[in-house]
Structure formats: C-alpha cells, structure tokens
C-alpha cells in the first residue's frame, strides 16, 4: 500500500515537471489524456472486471458533467465540490439505470445504455434547466494568483485533471484488488459458481455499474472543464464508441493499460487530420476518418487481441519453455 | 374519436417498420446470442444502395429489391468475415463474453464511416412510391396516407414470407434447430455454421426493407437509422428477445404507444417515452410479454 502511494506521488511529480517543459497544445492534450484515463478506468471496471458492456458511458459522462455544472452554476460551490457532485449524480443515475438493466443477465445493459447515448440530445432538449443544444457553461475559474503570471489556464486544467485522475486511479486500483474486484471477476468467470459461493451476483453487477458510472461522471466533469461547457454534442455516441475502443485496445481488464488507451484516443484525431491533409478532400475525410480509424482498430483488436496486447505477449513468452 | 383512430392507424404503420428492425435483431440473437448493433449500419448501407438505384431509375420498388439483396449480402458477409473469425479467435479470457457485442459496435462504426466517406453527410431523400397526402374523411383529411397503407402491406408480405420460410420449409426447420440446439442439429446433419450465415442474411434483408421504408417518408443520413435500431431493440425486449412473434407484437405496441405520445403530448417526449417503456419492461417483466412459465432469476 505504501509502495503504491509512493508510485502515484512519483508519477504526479513527474507530470508536474513534464507540464512545465512542453508547449500549450501538449499541456491541453495532457489534460485530455487524464480525462480519458478516468473514463477508460470506468470501462475496465465494468467490462473487464464485471463482464458487462456499456455502450453509453459517454452518456454517463454527460450526467456527471451536468451534475457538476448545475452545482457550480447554481450553488457557487468550490470546484472540488462540483467534481464530487459529478460523481454523486452519475452514481445515483447509474444505480437507477443499473437496477433495471444490470440486474438481469443478457444484452440488456448494452442495449439500454446504447439507447441512452442515442437519445441524449433528445433528453437534454427536453429539460430546460439542462440548457438544450447549446448546453451549460462550466467555468472552474482562473488559476490562483500565487502561481504567477506564467501559469496559463490550460496548465491549470492540466493540473486539476492530473490530480483528479491520479486520485481516481488510485482508488479504482484499490477497489479492483479488494473483495469487490475479486467478486466481480468471479461473476464474470462463472456467475452460477459465484452464486454458489454466496455471491449475490445481480446486486454486485448493479454495484459495478454504479461505481463505473460514478467514475464516468467524474471524467465527464473533467471533460466539461477542458471545454468550459456541458452540451449533448460533446458526449455523443462517438465518445461512447471511442471509450470502448480505447479500453479494448489497451487490454480490457488491465488498469495500467488505460493510460495507453487514453494516449491513443487523444492522438487519433491528430493522426487523422495529418492523413486527411495528405489525401485531400478534407471536409468528408475530417468528418469520417477518425471514426474509420477508431472502428478499424476496434474490430482488429477485438478479433486478434481481445484481451489486450499484453496477453498475447504473455502467451508468446510462455510458449518458449515448452516441454 | 377520429383522432384516436387515426393515431392508431399511424401507429400501426410506424410500428410495422419497428417490427422489421426488431425481427432482424431477434433473428440474429436467436442464432448467434449477439444483439447485432451493426444492424443499423447494415440497414443503412443497404438503404443507401437502394437510394442510389431508386433515384437513378426513379422506381422505388427496384431500389427496394436492390436494398433487400444488398442487405442479404451484407448480413451474410458480416457473419462470414467477422463473426466466424471472431468466434474462432476470442474464445477465452476476460473479453470472450463481451467481444461479439463490441465487434458489432465496431462494425456499426466502420459501416457508418464508409457510408459517410462515400455519400457524405448530407440528408438524402427517396421519393415515396405513393402519395403522402392523407385520406380525406368527411370534410378534412387525416394524416394516414397511401404510403402508410403501402408500408403496412409491404411489411405484412415480408412477415408472411419470413413466417413461411421458418414454418414450412426445410431451411426454416434447420434455422430453428440450429438456433435451439446447435450440437444436436449438427448431429442431425445440418451445417450449422452455414445455416447461421443464412439466418444473418435473412435478418440483413429484413433490415434493408426497414431502412428503405423508414426513409420513404423521412430523410437518409449516416445517423438516421440509429433511432430505428433503438426502437427495434426496445420492441425486441418487449417481446422477450427470443420470440419472433413477440418482437412483432412488441413493435406494434411500441409504435402505437409512441404515436399516441406524439399526437397527444408532443414530439419531444417520444424518445423519453420509449426509454421509459424499456426500463419498465426490464423492471417488471424482463423476459418479455411472451415469456412462459417461471421468469429467469437474476
């Protein structure tokens, strides 16, 4: 435990130093990587551990984003409280949804969350307090004065995002190695056997979806911070798809892998813009090339390395000392 | 009273299109145990092909025939080139259970981007094969039109054809057998893998019809069939995911219910209404309306 804390502090310290050395764009992308890290951790917890698929964690992120924005705008609370409320709102919502869809075994959770992701704009437009299509502002304010004039807004985002991501990953990794993580794995492996051992499997599955939703909500608030806005467009179906892709690419049940997945997700748009420039006809390509890259990567990885690149490597290493 | 009847009629027409989508989902679920979220993509690709043919030849029905053929081909291709490979590779480890669903998601994204790159994101529309002006009753007109009659007729023909295949032909028997007990079917000499591919292609063809019909009084874009997929899924859940009859009944109930919401409450609540139905069904009767005997525990 103490070792783990030391590692996380070391990573945090390294991130601070890196944040000072790179330019604004990279700092901004760093904040995005931190955001995706949290979001992917929510998928790893849900899909990699409890064996359920959510196609709408992007929508759960939106719930968290709205929760944080409503708290900050209406109550004028400190920022940390807004982020806390993001977790609370999304977990509550996740618990309600999970009580219906995660309780029963089958493809119901995947379908229900997909429906939620598709219908998010319709829902956001329905309730006036969510601000409709343009959404709500979410402004965490300028960085504190004592950091000096050199300290930019993006660096402030980066700091907050990294701080939150480190704490979230630390807590998630502890949850996953606790009784709950083991129980989820048992249910994923064989839910009947798990029930015979006294596990209440439907309750545990709802719990997994609740925790995962809370994490997604936190990521949603961080995303809202980096774009200063909560609007349905930012949390569309494409985001949910990207999250599943990132998690599968990095190994669906590997928590450290989420950093790799997050890096890939942040750099896909950049790669796709570079490709589109080379190929010409920028408009169509810019709109659909990122989606094409994401889906091709998703299909290839789910067919050839369904358990992540790490597993194949391990298999390869184990093969050598054959009897 | 007149409003109630016209809402019922429109609901029937809407619901019959949902019925095709939900039937396509159920067909694949029964044989492969995967909810094929790529169905929206397959239907979209078929509809775009149908749209090309229909707008060049100016004959809607020719477009529909091509959409059916394209749907069947794409459906068979998805099973043959992706699902078979997938089931060969992803057999163990934490991802084995979730890999098929995730793969269909990837396919949906893939087809969407290919369609977007080929046809662009602009809204296309297919000229309806019949008048969309409502019938006149007494002094006024009601929104129920020739097109709605045609939609209901086409869907009925498709449903009868599918029912005939499943109940009266050897192929149908093979399809049912290999969905019900693949190993025993195999022992009885049925090539289950090939039968499954045929099942996927029937589902693809049905989905293609759904796409063409829904587009005939609406527009077509790379995203326009997402909602149809969602409502098809809800209808399939109402029917219990297993039963083809249940999925059709579920779709009609859902279509009529949502049209009542549309006519009496407002457009904005249609989606929320559908979503609430899904949640309610999952809470109250997760096995669907067609479930017999004891409900599945947990």
pLDDT digits (tens, 9 = 90+) for B90-101: 666 667 778 888
Instruction: Give domain status of residue B97, yes or no.
Output: yes
Is B294 within a domain?
no
Tell whether the model's pLDDT for residue B31 goes beyond 70.
yes
Number of Cβ within a 10 Å radius of residue B130: 15
Contact A248, A298 (CB under 8 A): yes
- Are A248 and B102 an interchain contact pair (Cβ–Cβ within 8 Å)? yes
pLDDT 10s digits, B180-206:
888 899 999 999 899 999 999 999 999
Mean pLDDT, residues B150-161: 93
The pLDDT tens digits of the residues spanning B35-67 come to 999 999 999 999 999 999 998 988 889 999 999
Report yes or no on B292 lying in a domain. no
Rama region for A76: left / alpha / beta (φ>0; ψ in -120 to 50; rest) = left
Which helix (DSSP H) or strand (DSSP E) does residue B135 occupy?
A: strand B134-137
Q: Which of A132-146, B142-156, B269-283 has the lowest mean pLDDT?
A: A132-146
Q: How many CA atoms lie within 13 A of B283 on its CB side?
A: 11
Q: What percent of chain B stands above pLDDT 90?
A: 52
In the structure encoding, which two tokens stand for residue B142, read together?
Answer: 């009601």
State which residue of chain B sits closest to A308, comparing Cα positions. Answer: B95
User: Which CATH number belongs to the domain containing residue B37 in this structure?
Assistant: 1.10.3470
Chain A's closest residue to B87, CA to CA, is A303
Q: Is A137 helix (H, G, I), strand (E, B) or coil?
A: strand
**The residue count for chain A:** 323
**Higher confidence at residue B269 or residue A306?**
B269
As for how many domains chain B has, the answer is 1
Burial (0-12, 13-18, 19+ Cβ within 10 Å), B245? middle
Distance between CA atoms of A200 and A183, rounded to whole angstroms? 9
Give CA–CA dist B275/B280, Å, rounded. 9
| Cα separation, A318 vs A314, whole angstroms | 6
Taking CB atoms and an 8 Å cut-off, how many pairs form between chains A and B?
169
Residue B297 covered by a domain: no
In a domain, B121, yes or no: yes
Report the helix count and the strand count for chain B, using DSSP H and E: 12, 2
Percent of chain B with pLDDT over 70: 95
Asked whether the beta carbons of B10 and B145 are under 8 A apart, the reply is: no
Helix, strand, or coil here: A309? Answer: helix
Q: Does the distance separating the beta carbons of A289 and B102 come in below 8 Å?
A: no
Secondary structure letter of residue A102 according to DSSP: T
Question: Is it the case that residue B298 has pLDDT exceeding 70?
Answer: no
Round the average pLDDT of chain B to a whole number and report it: 88
pLDDT at residue B297 in the model: 43
Residue B296 has pLDDT above 60, yes or no: no
Res. A281 pLDDT band, cuts 50 70 90: low
Across A132-141, B159-168, B223-232, B248-257, least confident range: A132-141
Q: Which of B101, B250, B274 to mutate to test the interface with A (most CBs of A within 10 A)?
A: B101
In a domain, B62, yes or no: yes
Tens-digit pLDDT profile for residues A48-62: 888 888 888 999 999
The DSSP annotation for A32-91 comes to HHHHHHHHHHHHIIIIIIT----S-HHHHHHHHHHHHHHHHHHH---HHHHHHHHHHHHH
Domain ranges, residue B22: 2-127+144-284
Predicted pLDDT at A311: 65
Q: Which of A108, A185, A303 sits opposite B85 (nearest CB)?
A: A303
Average pLDDT for residues B111-127, to the nearest whole number? 88
DSSP 8-class letter at A144: P
For A17-51, how does the pLDDT look when each residue is reduced to its tens digit (9 = 90+)?
A: 887 777 878 888 889 999 999 999 999 999 888 88
Interface test with B, best of A45, A247, A303 (most B CBs within 10 A): A303
* A133 to chain B, closest Cα gap in Å: 13
pLDDT for the residue numbered A317: 67
Q: Do B272 and A244 touch (CB under 8 A)?
A: no
Lowest mean pLDDT among A87-91, A287-291, B287-291: B287-291
**How large is the average pLDDT for residues A238-244?**
89
**Structure-block tokens of residue A35:** 């955001």
Residues of A in contact with B272 (CB under 8 A): 119, 122-123, 126
Distance in angstroms (rounded) separating the CA atoms of residues A88 and A81: 10
- The pLDDT mean for chain A works out to 86
Spatial CA neighbour of B76 closest among B160, B214, B245, B201 = B201
Burial class (CB in 10 A: 0-12, 13-18, 19+), A88: middle
The model's pLDDT over B217-241, given as tens digits with 9 standing for 90+, comes to 788 988 889 999 999 999 999 998 8
The answer to whether the Cβ–Cβ distance between B105 and A244 falls below 8 Å is yes
Beta-ladder partners of A229: A137
Q: What is the pLDDT of residue A94?
A: 94
pLDDT at A323: 47
> A105 to chain B, minimum CA–CA distance in Å?
6
Residue B246 predicted with pLDDT over 70: yes
Taking contacts as CB-CB distances below 8 angstroms, the residues of chain B near A99 are 283
Residue B94 lies in a domain: yes
**Has residue B289 been placed in a domain?**
no
């Amino acid at each position: 435990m103490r070792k783990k804390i030391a590692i996380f502090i070391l990573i945090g310290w390294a991130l601070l130093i890196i944040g000072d050395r790179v330019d604004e764009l990279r700092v901004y992308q760093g904040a995005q990587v931190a955001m995706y890290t949290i979001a992917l951790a929510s998928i790893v917890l849900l899909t990699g551990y409890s064996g359920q698929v959510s196609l709408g964690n992007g929508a759960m992120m939106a719930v968290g984003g709205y929760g944080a924005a409503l708290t900050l705008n209406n109550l004028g609370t400190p920022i940390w409280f807004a982020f806390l409320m993001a977790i609370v709102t999304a977990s509550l919502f996740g618990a309600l949804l999970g009580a219906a869809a995660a309780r029963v075994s089958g493809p119901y959770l995947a379908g229900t969350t997909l429906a939620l992701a598709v219908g998010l704009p319709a829902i956001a437009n329905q309730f006036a307090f969510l601000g409709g299509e343009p959404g709500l502002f979410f402004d965490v304010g300028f960085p504190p004065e004592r950091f000096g004039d050199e300290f930019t807004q993006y660096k402030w985002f980066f700091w907050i995002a990294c701080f939150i991501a480190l704490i979230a990953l630390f807590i998630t990794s502890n949850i996953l190695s606790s009784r709950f993580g083991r129980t989820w794995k048992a249910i994923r492996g064989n839910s009947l056997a798990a029930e015979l051992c006294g596990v209440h499997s439907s309750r545990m599955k709802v719990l997994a979806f609740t925790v995962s939703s809370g994490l997604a909500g936190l990521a949603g608030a961080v995303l809202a911070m980096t774009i200063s806005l909560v609007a349905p467009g930012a949390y569309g179906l494409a985001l949910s798809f990207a999250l599943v892709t990132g998690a599968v690419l990095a190994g669906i049940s590997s928590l450290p892998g989420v950093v790799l997945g997050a890096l890939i997700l942040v750099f896909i748009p950049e790669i796709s813009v570079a490709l589109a420039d080379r190929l010409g006809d920028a408009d169509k390509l810019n709109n659909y090339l990122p989606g094409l890259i994401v889906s091709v990567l998703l299909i290839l990885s789910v067919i050839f390395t369904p358990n992540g690149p790490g597993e194949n490597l391990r298999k390869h290493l184990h093969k050598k000392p054959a009897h | 009273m007149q409003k109630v009847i016209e809402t019922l009629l429109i609901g029937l027409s809407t619901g019959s299109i949902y019925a095709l989508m939900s039937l396509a989902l159920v067909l694949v679920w029964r044989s492969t145990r995967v909810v094929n979220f790529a169905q929206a993509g397959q239907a979209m690709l078929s509809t775009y092909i149908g749209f090309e043919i229909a707008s060049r030849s100016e004959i809607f029905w020719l477009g529909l025939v091509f959409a059916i053929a394209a749907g069947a081909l794409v459906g068979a291709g998805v099973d043959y080139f992706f699902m078979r490979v997938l089931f060969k590779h992803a057999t163990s480890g934490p991802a084995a259970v979730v890999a098929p669903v995730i793969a269909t998601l990837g396919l949906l994204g893939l087809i969407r981007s290919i369609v977007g790159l080929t046809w662009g994101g602009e809204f296309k529309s297919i000229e309806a094969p019949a008048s969309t002006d409502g019938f006149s009753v007494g002094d006024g007109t009601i929104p129920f039109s020739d097109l709605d009659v045609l939609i209901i007729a086409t869907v009925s023909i498709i449903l009868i054809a599918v029912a005939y295949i499943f109940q009266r032909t050897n192929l149908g028997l093979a399809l049912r057998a290999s969905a019900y007990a693949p190993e025993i079917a195999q022992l009885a000499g049925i090539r289950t893998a090939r039968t499954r591919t045929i099942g996927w292609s029937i589902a693809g063809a049905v989905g293609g019809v759904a796409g063409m019909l829904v587009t005939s009084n609406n527009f077509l874009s790379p995203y326009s069939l997402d909602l149809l997929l969602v409502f098809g899924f809800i209808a399939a859940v109402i029917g219990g995911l297993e039963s083809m009859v249940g999925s059709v009944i579920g779709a009609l109930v859902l279509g009529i219910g949502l049209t009542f919401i549309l006519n009496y409450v407002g457009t904005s609540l249609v989606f929320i209404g559908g979503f609430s139905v899904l949640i309610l069904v999952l809470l109250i009767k997760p096995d669907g309306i067609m479930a017999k005997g004891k409900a599945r525990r947990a």
